[in-house]
Chain A
Amino acid sequence: QSVLKQPPSVSGAPGQRVTISCTGSGSNIGAGYDVHWYQQLPGTAPKLIIYVNSNRPSGVPDRFSGSKSYTAASLAITGLQADDEADYYCQSYDESLRGSVFGTGTKVTVL
C-alpha cells in the first residue's frame, strides 16, 4: 500500500503544461520530509528529475519543476514533449514506517 497518492494518469497536447500531485500525511510530507520525483521510461530504471522538493539534477530540463506545501507536493511539466511520455513517481520518508515511501505513480500521455 503506497502512502503517497498520485493520480493514475494525466495527459496533455504537445507544448501544454501538466501537473502531477502527490498527497501524503502528517507522518511524511507534512512532517517536513523532502519530496523527490522520478521519471521511468518503459523498460528502464527510474531517473531522478527533482530532488529536495524543487531542485533539478544537472541535465534535467527546466521544463520540469517541483513544489511542496503542507502535506502535498506537485511536479509540473511545461512545454510537454513526446519523450515526456513516461511514468512519474514521488518519494519521501515516513517516520511511522521509518523508511522511504513511493507514490502510486502517474502515467503521462502526450496526445
Chain B
Amino acid sequence: EVQLVQSGAEVKKPGESLKISCQGSGYSFANYWISWVRQMPGKGLEWMGFIHPSDSDTTYSPSFQGQVTISADKSINTAYLQWSSLEASDTAMYYCVRLKAMGGSGAHWGQGTLVTVSS
C-alpha cells in the first residue's frame, strides 16, 4: 500500500527555521515526483514545487521560489520542505503529494502538516 506520512504539527515563532518531512512507503520512492502544496486557513490549494528524488531535480512555483527549499533523501525515502526564517504568513497546512509526472495527477497525499507561526 502506497503511503506518505508527514511529520507532526509545528508551532514556531517568526524568524525561526523549520524543516518538515514526508516519508514514502509501499513503492519505489525514487521513481515518482513529490510535490508540496500549501493551504492557508480557509483558502484554496497552492502548488509550491516538486522534486524528483532520483536526482533531486527541483522546480519551484514562482510564488515560492526563494521562500522555501525542497529537498529529498532517497536513501530514507523522505522529502523535505524547509524555511530559514518563518513569517506569520507561513501559517498553513502543508501537504506532500506523489505524482507520476510533473503534469500528472496526485492519487496519494500525505495527511498534512499544520505549521503555526505566532509570536
Contact = CB atoms under 8 A, between A and B. Distances in A.
Contact of B103 (A34, A45, A103): A34
A57 interface: yes
Interface residues of B, number: 25
Contact of A45 (B104, B105, B112): B112
A92 B103 contact: yes
Contacts of B44: 2, 87, 89, 102-105
B67 to A, nearest CB: 14
A51 interface: yes
B72 to A, nearest CB: 17
* Dominant secondary structure of chain A at its interface with chain B: strand
Given A46-B106, A57-B107, A100-B103, 17 more contacts: A33-B103, A34-B104, A34-B105, A36-B104, A36-B106, A48-B106, A89-B44, A89-B45, A91-B45, A91-B105, A93-B103, A99-B49, A99-B102, A100-B35, A100-B47, A102-B47, A104-B44
Q: Which 7 residue pairs across A and B have the least CB separation, nearest first?
A: A93-B103, A51-B105, A36-B105, A105-B44, A100-B47, A45-B109, A102-B45
